Amino acid sequence: MAQIITVAALAILGYLLGSIPWGIVWTRLFTSVDIRREGSRNIGATNVRRVAGTPLGVLTLAGDVLKGTVPVLLAVRVIGLATPADQWSVGLAALCAFMGHLFPLYLKGREGGKGVATAAGCFLALSPGGVVAALLVFILFACMTSRVSAASLAASAFLPLAIWEALGSGPLTICAGIAAALIFIRHKENVRRLMAGTEPRF
């Protein structure tokens, strides 16, 4: 029973931290912009950078990464990764933080981001090497296409393979695959524009 309570508490904490909309926090503190009404209307770092400038974009990126990293590091410290059950429990904390960004409690489950930075933060806590490999894929596709969305999708598709190669964990690889699938769903409009050749370059 105590283990179940611990896992549930970590999952809830992950969701609460993941729900913090850093793009809105920073733009409200330092500008008069409502990021949900400007640019692509997304609360993530890319839109914040476009609308409010690079410094706030960087702060948003850092916040979105850390809100994934912190709850997963805590889950690893409390539960560990020794058994598949432990890995599922930590993966649950990671997915809850990720889902918090997509469906933030503080915004009534609406107007969340696309999840790339928060997913990277979650898995950075588990496999820095795997995330660095995915980051290299991001950089490669960004240079090839000059489009953040294409680079994000390529890196997300690569992430489950990177996690498997780094950790050899079925549960954590499945969690990475779920995150990648949801990122693709959140990018459906970007995919349409990429196919039509109308997606903005950075």
pLDDT tens-digit series, residues 88-138: 999 999 999 999 999 999 999 888 999 999 999 999 999 999 999 999 999
- H or E stretch at 176: helix 170-186
Instruction: Report residue 28's pLDDT band, with 50, 70 and 90 as the boundaries.
Output: very high
126 class by beta-carbon count within 10 Å (0-12 exposed, 13-18 middle, 19+ buried):
buried
* Counts of helices then strands in the chain (DSSP H, E): 10, 0
Average pLDDT of the chain, as a whole number = 94
Q: Which residue has the higher pLDDT, 33 or 154?
A: 154
Instruction: Report residue 40's pLDDT band, with 50, 70 and 90 as the boundaries.
Output: confident
What pLDDT does 167 receive?
Answer: 95
Could you give the number of structural domains in the chain?
1
d(CA 189, CA 183): 12
- The answer to whether residue 202 is domain-embedded is no
- The answer to whether residue 201 is domain-embedded is no
Reported as a single tens digit per residue, the pLDDT across 45-71 is: 889 999 999 999 999 999 999 999 999
* Arithmetic mean of pLDDT, 133-160: 95
**End-to-end C-alpha distance for the chain, whole angstroms:** 50
Q: Write out the residue range of the structural domain in which residue 54 sits.
A: 2-196
What pLDDT does 137 receive?
Answer: 97
User: Crossing angle, helix 2-18 and helix 54-79, to 10 degrees?
Assistant: 180
- The answer to whether residue 153 is domain-embedded is yes
* Arithmetic mean of pLDDT, 23-46: 90
Alpha helix stretches (DSSP H) within the chain: 2-18, 22-30, 45-52, 54-79, 84-102, 116-124, 128-145, 148-167, 170-186, 188-196
Per-residue pLDDT for 197 more than 90? no
Is 150 in contact with 101 (CB distance < 8 Å)? Answer: no
Per-residue pLDDT for 39 more than 80? yes
Per-residue pLDDT for 38 more than 90? no
- H or E stretch at 23: helix 22-30
- The answer to whether residue 144 is domain-embedded is yes
Is 93 in contact with 81 (CB distance < 8 Å)? Answer: no
- The answer to whether residue 84 is domain-embedded is yes
Percent pLDDT > 90 in the chain is 83
What pLDDT does 2 receive?
Answer: 74
* Arithmetic mean of pLDDT, 132-151: 94
Is 59 in contact with 26 (CB distance < 8 Å)? Answer: yes
- The answer to whether residue 33 is domain-embedded is yes
d(CA 51, CA 23): 11
- The answer to whether residue 106 is domain-embedded is yes
Per-residue pLDDT for 150 more than 90? yes
Residue 141 identity (one-letter amino acid)? F
Per-residue pLDDT for 202 more than 80? no
Backbone torsions φ then ψ of 121, nearest 5 degrees: -65, -40
- The answer to whether residue 54 is domain-embedded is yes
Query: Counting every residue, how long is the chain?
Result: 202
Residues 96-109 as b or e (16 or more Cβ within 10 Å = b): bbbbbbbbbeeeee
d(CA 103, CA 44): 13
What pLDDT does 20 receive?
Answer: 96
